[in-house]
Amino acid sequence: MHFEWKGVFPALTTQFTPDDELDLPLFEKNIEAQIEAGVDGLILGGTLGEASVITIAEKEALVKTALQKAAGQVPVLLNIAEGSTREAINQATLAAKWGAQGLMLLPPMRYKSDHRETVEYFKTIASNTDLPIILYNNPVDYKIEITLDMFEELTECTNIGAVKESTRDVSNVTRMINRFGNRYKIMCGVDPLAMEELVMGADGWVAGLVDAFPRETVAIYRLVKAGQLEEAAAIYRWFMPLLDLDIDAKLVQYIKLASVATGIGSEHTRAPRLRIIGEERARVQAIIDEGMRTRPVLPDYLNLSVVNNYL
């Protein structure tokens, strides 16, 4: 399946039952809401998908369920976050076998690889799969930055075509464009920086709060790319207190709680993550409640003429 690295790609949550099994019907319900809202792709098994605690068999079930539900309308991608190159290659091979149409790759987990090791890790995986790849650049949470010099060395890997830009440095969008032009598509990976990065030329948004608010997320993207910045900014300002939940260490619990409010998810997580309680719960719930109370009426964003030119 051919697709472009642009638009909104939800980093989907993995839905669990109270008995800690996959809740595939609820997972499908969320996917249905995403597709109806107009997203452009689905990413499974990322940070929000609780990658570190789901099994290979569960990843297979998620990929196959998503493919069936998506029915060719949008691509389905699997995230790979592994400690060894061999296991990363194994999962890339399995992803292709299951029918996944792309991969998102993090640098090696647990071991802080240096420049040479990081580049070799990505090159080796890329050379062992034909699937298109987006690299996840998140040095804040995962301690390894994919630098511009690393991207320079990776240009020879033709299937590495995009970056999930999560450095939290908005100027990195401009630095990437200045150095590489259109070689790498840029997908914002930090919700409360999304509009700023889209305005500065990012091609899309790998989003988190989209798991609870898919229509609002897609509306912002499409309004920005249609040049309707004032309309986009009004929604974005409403959204900001919720978007800030994406940059907390407990983003999984917080975003899942928000999805309960909109009826497209549950708050069940897999241990060691626990249900939030007490003052913390009250604080987050208040943000969600205020967002629901003031939720904006959206324009007909699905019929906008969207362009993707750089400034």
Encode pLDDT of 140-150 as tens digits. Answer: 999 999 999 99
Residues 38 and 288 sit within 8 Å (Cβ to Cβ): no
Helix (H) or strand (E) segment spanning residue 218: helix 214-225
pLDDT band at 1; cut points 50, 70, 90 = confident
Q: pLDDT value at position 310?
A: 45
Confidence tier at 306 by pLDDT (50, 70, 90): confident
Domain ranges of the chain: 7-298
CA distance 17 to 258: 17
pLDDT in tens, 31-76: 999 999 999 999 999 999 999 999 999 999 999 999 999 999 999 9
Task: Provide the b/e sequence for 281-305 (b: ≥16 CB within 10 Å).
Answer: eeebbebbeebeeebeebbebeebe
The stretch 122-131 carries a mean pLDDT of: 98
| Share of residues in the chain with pLDDT > 70 (%) | 99
Give the whole-number percent of the chain exceeding pLDDT 90: 97
Residue 133 pLDDT more than 50?
yes
Residue 308: predicted pLDDT = 59
**Pick from 245, 196, 195, 240: nearest CA to 222:** 195
- pLDDT level of residue 21 (50, 70, 90 thresholds): very high
Output the pTM of the full model.
0.96
Distance in angstroms (rounded) separating the CA atoms of residues 208 and 202: 16
pLDDT per residue as tens digits for the range 230-289: 999 999 999 999 999 999 999 999 999 999 999 999 999 999 999 999 999 999 999 999
Q: Is the confidence at residue 163, as pLDDT, over 50? A: yes
Are the beta carbons of 204 and 185 closer than 8 angstroms?
yes
Looking at the domain that runs over 7-298, which CATH code has it been given?
3.20.20.70
